[in-house]
Chain A
Amino acid sequence: MQSYADIAKGDVLLSVKDVSLSFGGVKAIQGVSFDIRKGEVRAIIGPNGAGKTSMLNVINGFYHPQAGEIMFKGIRRPKMKPYEAASGGIARTFQNVALFKGMTTLDNIMAGRSLKMNVGLFWQMLRFGPAEREEVIHRRRVEEIIDFLEIQAIRKTPVGKLPYGLQKRVELGRALAMEPELLLLDEPMAGMNLEEKEDMCRFILDVREQFGTTIALIEHDMGVVMDLSDRVVVLDYGRKIADGVPDVVKADKTVIDAYLGVAH
């Protein structure tokens, strides 16, 4: 495990500066800044409606903030489109599983390789030569991910029929298939039982260990957050109220107030 001192010295992979986002009159995010360093597990926590998911949506270009800027790998992109974020190396899982329900596990994860596949229409039509070779190369890579996540048995099952815990795992697999530099996990453990949570924690740590992926995650389970993450940023009502290593954040007065409520 890297120590906080190592992380603090690491390169900044992504930085968010004074970002504000509103929908009509609702201010989802107000002037939030933080950064994510290479190789760390960065948790974003906060009560419901604090703007965590909106933050992830801003990071991968699905929402465009009204103010502020986002730097990814040292390049500032004012109005990044979602596919630009994806091709830049940002992958994502979703709070409510957003798998392609009509497709098999294998196809879902293969779809995650879309960006890496580029054989054109002609060969695709014949499914021959380059198209067939490409398909096999990526199939091999996908099978590695399937092995890694231990979901060999459900390879050809339509994901709509899988139980929730496995769906979350397939979704992680789909994100991993993109070979991202930054992996955004939106409540990867929501609705799981203890055993499934432990599995998922192991996968997250293994991902960082094996692929060197930087991970940003939103999670409500404080035990998980404190164990997994290197640094934590806390949002409340769209504002940042704390930022730092888990132990510091845990003891922070404003954080405790935000979670438990405060008597005025």
Chain B
Amino acid sequence: MSDATLPAAPAFKMTPGRWTLLGFVAFALLIVALVSTGTIRRGDFLYNVFADPFVSMVDLPDLLVQTLWEGLVAGVLYALIALGFVLIFKASGVFNFAQGIMVVFAALSLVGIYEILTLRLGFPPGFVAAILSLFGAIGVMFVLAVVVERVVLRPLVNQHEIIMLMATVGLTYFLIGFGEYVFGGNPKVMITSQLGLPTGSSTFNILGGRVSIQHLDVAAAVIATIMIAALAFFFQYTRIGRALRAVADSHKAALSVGISLNQIWVIVWFTAGIVALVTGIMWGARSDVSFALEIIALKALPVLIIGGFTSIPGAIIGGLIIGVGEKIGEFYWGPLFGGGIESWLAYIIALGVLMFRPQGLFGEKIIERI
């Protein structure tokens, strides 16, 4: 074997991914051909599924833009929940099923503390009380992080990932019961305006139609971007961030160079708690604050599958894909199936991705060793 030969240009090879893409293109062409020749027409099932939604997208672009925007906003919120998962998974290898519940719990704490302050302690309602309860909620999330580290993580260190997952499912149940016990089970209203967040909406005339945008959604997108940038900075350039990355690579090695696992875990769970609080505020502002949000919070799981468990950009892009895909699917295809497909579409999209890339879009290829 001679090492001097130059590597030849890689030959063009049909990978499964390329075959799939080719299949989609061929199928689209086939549908176009069938429609233009009149083989399938309005009213046929095939037409309804494969042609009609695209026709209405082109005919009414303002509706498409509105749907896309709503999908993006929902996607940002999914991405934020997924971000909390990723933070914890990276640093402790724990798949934190309770992240979705932490979102509700954080929002509930915020509103609950505000109620206690204004109604029982006689604080004047308004910005000051809201900020005080915000600090209170941050405090609650810190206490939660410490307790979780002490009571759940420390005794379970080095257990199998499935055991850890089940422990966080247990935590989920505990937090639901605890949250309802302390703050009551009734849905609450988020203190949006008291916190100084914008309300109201603007309407734009574009593409021959009207698109309405909630100010709050814009604020959500901006705040989410700032927070993600801050986290990225924190991870990349601070001493604690470096320690976090070390722990993510190997617990034992990190321990051996004197990094305290317990401290890192508290920090990570606290960070995830703050992410949860921000998510909870954004989400609560768009609907009530109650544990009914739990079902929506589970949607972060398909987001993770698409993005991979360890990738922050993956969580963001996954969130956007799921958010947009779900809204478009529900709006254009949902009526064909009697509506409500939003409840499972995200999971099916994620399954579809898994079939082609078992490690998610951004995960590393798995090499099994023995």
Contacts and interface: CB of A to CB of B under 8 A. Distances in A.
Interface in A1-33: 23-24, 30-31
A254 interface: no
Contacts of A57: 370
B14 interface: no
Contact of B1 (A31, A94, A95): A31
Contact of A98 (B1, B365, B367, B370): B370
Interface in A64-101: 94-96, 98
Contacts of A95: 370
Nearest to A92: B370
A237 interface: no
Contact of A62 (B1, B365, B370): B370
B140 to A, nearest CB: 40
B1 A23 contact: no
Contacts of A23: 367
Nearest to A56: B370
B367 A94 contact: no
A30 B370 contact: no
B363 to A, nearest CB: 15
Contacts of B370: 53, 57, 62, 94-96, 98
Interface string B333-370: 00000000000000000000000000000000101101
Nearest to A186: B370
Mostly helix, strand, loop or mixed at chain A's interface? Answer: loop
A23 B365 CA distance: 10
B1 A30 contact: yes
B336 to A, nearest CB: 40
Contacts of A94: 370
Interface in A176-216: none
Nearest to B1: A31
Interface residues of B, number: 5
Contacts of B368: 62
A175 to B, nearest CB: 14
Contacts of A62: 368, 370
Nearest to B368: A62
A173 B142 CA distance: 53
B370 to A, nearest CB: 6
A56 B355 CA distance: 29
A253 to B, nearest CB: 21
A256 to B, nearest CB: 24
B10 to A, nearest CB: 13
A30 B1 CA distance: 10
A30 B370 CA distance: 20
A31 B1 CA distance: 9
Contacts of B1: 30-31
Interface in B170-206: none
B158 to A, nearest CB: 15
A182 B365 CA distance: 32
A22 B365 CA distance: 14
Nearest to B367: A23
A95 B369 CA distance: 11
A153 to B, nearest CB: 29
A23 B370 CA distance: 15
Contacts of B367: 23
Interface in A213-258: none
A119 B370 CA distance: 31
Contacts of A30: 1
B175 to A, nearest CB: 31
Interface string A162-174: 0000000000000
B133 to A, nearest CB: 49
Interface in A25-74: 30-31, 53, 57, 62
B3 to A, nearest CB: 11
Contacts of A31: 1
Contacts of B365: 24
A62 B1 CA distance: 26
B302 to A, nearest CB: 28
A57 B368 CA distance: 11
A30 B3 CA distance: 12
A53 to B, nearest CB: 8
A243 to B, nearest CB: 18
A95 B370 CA distance: 8
A96 B365 CA distance: 23
A57 B365 CA distance: 19
A99 B349 CA distance: 37
Nearest to A26: B367
Nearest to B370: A94
Contacts of A96: 370
A23 B1 CA distance: 19
A98 B367 CA distance: 17
A93 B69 CA distance: 57
Interface in B1-18: 1
A192 to B, nearest CB: 20
Nearest to A53: B370
B70 to A, nearest CB: 41
A57 B1 CA distance: 24
12 contacts: A23-B367, A24-B365, A30-B1, A31-B1, A53-B370, A57-B370, A62-B368, A62-B370, A94-B370, A95-B370, A96-B370, A98-B370
Interface of A: 23-24, 30-31, 53, 57, 62, 94-96, 98
Interface of B: 1, 365, 367-368, 370
Across the A-B interface, give the 7 residue pairs with the lowest CB-CB distance, nearest first.
A23-B367, A94-B370, A98-B370, A31-B1, A57-B370, A62-B370, A30-B1
Given A57-B370, A62-B370, 9 more contacts: A23-B367, A24-B365, A30-B1, A31-B1, A53-B370, A62-B368, A94-B370, A95-B370, A96-B370
